[in-house]
Amino acid sequence: MSRSLIIVDMQNDFITGLLGTPEALEAERYILKELDFNSFSTIFITRDTHFSHYLETAEGKKLPVPHCIHKTEGWQISAPIMEKVYESGVPYLYLDKHSFGYNQWSSLSAFLNTNEEIVIVGVCTDICVISNALILKSFFHEIPIKVISYMCAGTTSEKHDEALDVMRSCQIDII
């Protein structure tokens, strides 16, 4: 069975850094403890990527907290998660994105269309997870897309639950 895992923005700034939350730490623990990385044929790892002029961007004006600045410690993917990825031996690809959703999923269509399912985990459920899940669903509408809810964290628990409801209504499977 060909399955892809998409790890959304499990970066230091969202787990232990400027925008970190206890829920993100808990999601990381579940990912490390319960996710069988070897059950996937490919792993895609998105990275929220900003630059020094972040506060001048549209996002920076609405969220004036410089985060995930390219090549900083906060921009890096959680080291324990990367250790699990390396240990699995499963091919992986970093996808740097400059907005909530990775807008190049269609460029991976030759590969993703061969999948029997796509599984998504990560942060923030109500921003980047939902954006990527909906983009993926629009491009790959015949492939089951699953979000593992307890391996995700939102900006708040209420927004996390609301985002899961929206994804469920868009025929994304919530586990």
CA distance 43 to 22: 25
Render pLDDT for 86-136 as a digit per residue (tens, 0 to 9): 999 999 999 999 999 998 998 998 889 898 999 999 999 999 999 999 999
At position 122, the amino acid (one-letter code) is G
Domains and CATH numbers, the chain: 3-174 (3.40.50.850)
Residue range 39-74, pLDDT digits in tens: 999 999 999 999 999 999 999 999 999 999 999 999
**% the chain with pLDDT above 70:** 99
pTM assigned to the model: 0.97
pLDDT for the residue 111: 80
Closest CA to 145 of 126, 117, 112: 117
Q: Using CB atoms within 10 Å of the CB of residue 117, give its burial: 0 to 12 exposed, 13 to 18 middle, 19+ buried.
A: middle
Amino acid (one-letter) located at 58: A
Closest alpha carbon to 67 in 26, 7, 124: 124
The tokens of 116 are what?
Answer: 């029997």
Mean pLDDT computed over every residue of the chain = 96
- For helices 79-88 and 22-34, the axis angle rounded to 10 degrees is 20
